[in-house]
Structure 1
Amino acid sequence: MSNQWKNYGSTLLATSDDSSDVCDNMIVEHINHKGSNWTAYVNILCIVAGSGTLGIPYAIRQGGWISILLLILSAIMNVYANTKLIECLYHNNVSRRTSITEVAYDAFGNAGSGFVNCFFNATCIGAPIVYLILSGENFKKLFEDNFGIDLGIGTWIFICGGMMCVPYVMLKNMKEASWLSIFGALTTGLVVVVVFIASLMELPNNRDKEHQIIHLRHMPIALATAFFSYGGNVVYPHVEASMEHPKAWPKVLGLATFTITFFYLLIGISAYATYGDDTLSPIYKNLPAGLAVTISVIMISIHVLMALPIYLTAFALEVEDYLSINVATLGKNREFTYRAAIRILTLSFAISIANVVPYFADIMALIGAISQGVLLIFMPIVIWIKLFGWDSINSWKEKLWVIFLLMFSVIVTFTGTILAIYDLYADITDHK
């Protein structure tokens, strides 16, 4: 693989062979915003682990105990496919591409770019919508249980979105967003420990709960939730671009994914073992009222609100690059004005959708099936094959592995999307 990575880690960020003054200024700006491997690690941890931590126990309930093996398989597929994705950014050995959309254009032209863009935008906007729904539910529960204040989930979604408006507008890149990730990663670890201990303490009182080895009917939904829980590769090119030593990307991604998987297994196994087929999403709905629930609600709310600007920043960077919104082109004041306007409009859209369809588990599964089934596994591998060639895979075992990944992701995307839409429709009609 080294012959394909000889330019890996290049600081050249031009999207073409053109060496204009604007590109030169972008390169200088990028070099001055480098972060450590540790920063990249916590960025990935914060982006990926938050809502998945609360949704994985319910995913295991949907698929049965077999979902644990599928969760581990999803982690392995994530590392493999998104190592390939970062390789694609350096495919021409001249300049570094900046996103999955650009390499999709290099591989398949406008059709590929447009196809990926649909799923890219769905993920970058969809994940923050899930986070807004979750944080709205959390604060509603917190203030109802502890203070008797019921403002309604819609009001809390507006409040949470408003709180994130300032950091989202002010943070220009992933390096500047790293302090959000540090707090987000710490809160995730704390939530896992709290729910793990609380579940084990409740186990003696739930010996009668039923458990299934496998639920074939809901297996695609469980896999879609798992895909969402590892989703984040729309942000990975920006995270890797912020690294001082980008050659360490495979190691950083692998370590972060291992940590996330450990969190998921710890909380998923303990929760499903305790609550069985009565497991709910988010998992703290199963926990008895008290300090454990309060801590979990506060910590995970902080986490998802910290992760929200990171996802939206990835979307904003794509839009701003397309519209040439940068200091070199517009000057400092106009650049900030345009950037603020675009980001406020984006956040307002996410808040509006979260209010209209406030169903956490259903939206999580739907986004996982539609977007992550395509973006997380399928497209990075297909793009890599188109850019480097099928014969670049030397081992027949690896070729079989690649074929399996492509077939697996297509099946999960198709069946998971149908079932997720059905479940969402059922919840909307039941609510009405």
Structure 2
Amino acid sequence: MTEADDIHSLNSSTVNNDDYLVLTQQEQTTTVKERKEKQVLKPPAIHASIRSKSDQQQQQEGRENVAKVSNTSTLASIVLTFVSCKSCVVAGTGALGIPHALSRSGWIGLVFLGLSAVMAQFSGCLLIRCLYHRQGHRLSGFPEIGHVTFGLPGRIVGIVFPMLLLLFTPILYMILAGDNVSRLLASAGVSVSRKACTWIVSAVVGFPFALVRTMRDVSFMSFFASMATVGLLFVITSASVSVIHEQPNVHHDWANPGGIPIAFSTFSFSYCGNVIYPHLESSMAAPSDWPKVLLVATFAVTIMYMTVGFLAYLAYGSTVHNPVYDSLPQGIVLRYLYMMVDTINVNVSETTGAAQNVAMLVATLHVLLAVPMYLYVLTVDIESWLGVSYLQEHQQHATMKRHKEDQDDANTIDDQEDHDDSTTIQQHRSWMKRQRLWLQRHAKATRIVLRTVEICSCAVVAMLTPYFSDFMSLIGTIAAESLTFVLPCIFWIKLAWHDRNPWELLGCALIAAVGIFCAVFGTADAVKLFLNDIQQSS
């Protein structure tokens, strides 16, 4: 190759980078004209299917650097997962529905609750193993796993079901919070409609959510949510124990086969953290500790569920409601607690529903702090697709700063020529890329608008759907069971088929079959109950 060919090859080369729009610098020996002929980098190709392997690794490394949680020991990792995933995300609202699920299935539901815990632990570990199935490369979540296993149909399934859960769960929480706030204000003598309270709740949640930048911020909020969960469980168990001897005619069933599928959907929802697991695992300093972390977290949450479910169902029997604090009788002020400390004299007749109000207040606090966790995971994917995530903006500013320093040192192009070149290059870009470029230049405003739209959308649906119990069952059967039990097992069977581990594949097949069976029949029952409530209210 001649020297002229080398120069021609050098001048015609371009740099492919899917992250940011920057100018590249030539070596100091090149001329100003050669530097100006360099093309501007193209805007981010956000969809994971068209990113190269090295680009995905670079983005993952950047995410870990920004959102790294200080959990360098196994104990700290356990605290992170327990607080951010189990205790915050699912333990509070899951515990509210467990007693009602037992009233549908009978005492045998405790066996299925334990079975759900074992299956959730197994599938949670499988999901993370799916992420690392390709040597030297980590997949990002359900969409990429689905694409690797079943191509485009798998990607669509991996996008739709997590989106359903991430969008409908905040709606469920807002239904609960709006109803609680309305009832709490009514007990204080202030009459505010449930719909108005739903908008108030959305505003309270939306303001901090619009300012959340990384998973670390969400994890900080989840710590307080976990404390609210502990308080909620303490109130419910104390109130249940205090009235057990006053409920002599409570009816209990040992087994109700017809109610097992829909009860199983509630159990599935109570353990459904799979959609957030990839984000939590990526923030760990020691990802290899994930199985131990998940085991301890699942065990701790199961103890909570067993305790609340057993005591509440024992106290209130088949009449227990969802949420369970609606079953707390009026006039009960946690006498069991007062008997333990024996320091307060309580005139029960002078109080009405104190335990119920305390439980509603703590439950509302829990869901207000847990909503940002779900919405953040949903939003960060959309923001990455648009190229306006905090990580991308942070990297873009750093790259532009380095470019400006290099440009000042080289003392090159004047501003007018740069503007002309940028305009010429932009004219050759598609309309969609130009819109993405505009969004990237206003990344912070775009994030705020996007998150505001999400909060308002959730509030509108929550305002129009007042049936907490039915909505919870519907989410559990459609999305939670698929994400918790079905999809991880099916994906792993496809990925590990050639490994030929018969016992593991058999376990995956059984869990997937149980999940599909309960999802089909549970969805039918949930839809039937949902329609019946609508007809009765109309």
TM-score by length of 1: 0.92
Q: Residues 240-251 of structure 1 correspond to what in structure 2 (within 5 A)?
A: 240-251=281-292
Between stretches 31-40 and 132-141, larger displacement belongs to 31-40
Question: Which of 144, 152, 156 is 1:110 aligned to?
Answer: 152
1:218 paired residue among 244, 250, 259: 259
AA paired with 1:392? D
Corresponding position: 1:151 with 2:185: no
Indicate the residue corresponding to 1:353 in structure 2: 461
**1:405, CA displacement in angstroms?**
0.6
How far is 1:23 from its partner? 6.4
Question: In 2, distance between residues paired with 1:120 and 1:426?
Answer: 27
Partner in structure 2 of residue 68 of structure 1: 110
The answer (yes or no) to whether the contact 2:474–2:527 under 8 Å persists in 1 is: yes
| Residue pair 1:53, 1:188 contacting (<8 A) in 2 also | no
Alpha-carbon contact 1:40-1:243 (below 8 Å) kept: no
Give me the whole-angstrom Cα distance separating, in 1, the residues matched to 2:218 and 2:367.
Answer: 14
Aligned ranges for residues 41-190 of structure 1 at < 5 Å? Answer: 41-44=82-85, 45-145=87-187, 147-190=188-231
CA contact (8 A) 1:34 1:242 kept: yes
The answer to whether the aligner puts 1:33 opposite 2:67 as a matched pair is yes
User: What is the Cα deviation at residue 403 of structure 1?
Assistant: 2.1
Range with greater deviation from structure 2 (211-220 or 75-84)? 211-220
- Report 1:297-336 matches (<5 A): 297-325=360-388, 326-327=392-393, 328=395, 334-336=442-444
Residues of 2 paired with 1:186 and 1:179: CA distance? 12
Aligned to 2:399: none
Per-residue CA distance 1:388-412 (angstroms, 9 max, x = gap): 22x4352x44333222111100101
Residue 292 of structure 2 aligns to a residue whose secondary structure is helix
The separation in 2 between residues aligned to 1:341 and 1:280, in whole angstroms, is: 38
- Aligned to 2:215, the other structure's residue is in SS state coil
C-alpha displacement of 1:24: 3.6
Say whether residues 1:402 and 2:508 are aligned partners: yes
Matched, 1:417 2:523: yes
Conserved? CA contact 1:227–1:373, under 8 Å? yes
Task: Provide the residue aligned with 1:392 in structure 2.
Answer: 499
The CA distance in 2 between the partners of 1:260 and 1:98, in whole Å, is: 26
1:94-145 deviations in Å (ceiling 9; x for gaps): 2222111111111111111112222111100011011001111111121112
Contact 1:98 1:237 in 2 (8 A): yes
Deviation sequence 1:133-183 (CA, Å, 0-9, x none): 1111111121112x1222121111111111011221211332221111111
2: CA distance, partners of 1:115 / 1:393: 26
SS at match of 1:32: helix
Asked if 1:197 corresponds to 2:238, the answer is yes
User: Relative to structure 1, is the Cα distance of residues 91 and 399 closer, same or farther in structure 2, using a 3 angstrom cutoff?
Assistant: closer
- Cα deviation for residue 322 of structure 1 reads 2.1
1:339 paired with 2:483, answer: no
- 462, 469, 475: which one aligns with 1:367: 475
Amino acid at match of 1:361: S
Percent identical among aligned pairs is 31
Amino acid at match of 1:214: A
1-structure distance, mates of 2:441, 2:233? 43
Question: TM-score, normalised to structure 2's length?
Answer: 0.74
Cα distance in 1 for residues equivalent to 2:225 and 2:217: 14
Contact residue 189 and residue 263 of structure 1 kept, 8 A: no
Give the corresponding residue for 1:19: 54
Structure 1 residues 141 and 393 mapped into 2: Cα distance closer, same or farther (>3 Å)?
Answer: farther
Alignment-derived partner of residue 407 in structure 2: none
Shift of 1:204: 1.0
Shift, 1:333, TM fit = 6.4
Distance across 1 between alignment mates of 2:480 and 2:251: 31
Bigger shift: 285-294 or 149-158? 285-294
| Structure 1 residue identity aligned to 2:155 | S
Question: What SS class does the counterpart of residue 88 from structure 2 fall into?
Answer: helix
Q: Which has the bigger relative contact order, CA under 8 A and spacing at least 6?
A: 1
> In the TM superposition, what whole-angstrom CA distance separates every residue of 1:222-280 from its partner, at most 9, and x where no partner exists?
01111111112111111111111111111111111111111111111000001101101
Name the CA distance, whole Å, in 2 between partners of 1:92 and 1:397: 22
Partner of 2:490: 382
Unaligned runs of 5+ in 1: 1-13
Please name the residue that 2:298 is paired with: 257
Letter in 1 for 2:265: A
Q: Which residue of 2 aligns with 1:9?
A: none
Equivalent residue letter for 2:466: P
SS in 2 for 1:210: coil
The one-letter code matched in structure 2 to 1:303 is: H
Code of the aligned partner of 2:64: H
Task: Choose 1 or 2 for highest CA Rg.
Answer: 2
How many residue pairs get matched?
415
- 2:510 matches 1:430: no
| Shift in Å, 1:363 | 0.4
Q: What is the alpha-carbon distance in structure 2 between the residues aligned to residue 346 and residue 138 of structure 1? A: 22
SS in 2 for 1:176: helix
Q: Which AA in structure 2 matches 1:132?
A: M
* Paired residue type of 1:127: T
CA contact (8 A) 2:145 2:158 kept: no
Q: Aligned to 1:283, which of 324, 331, 342?
A: 324
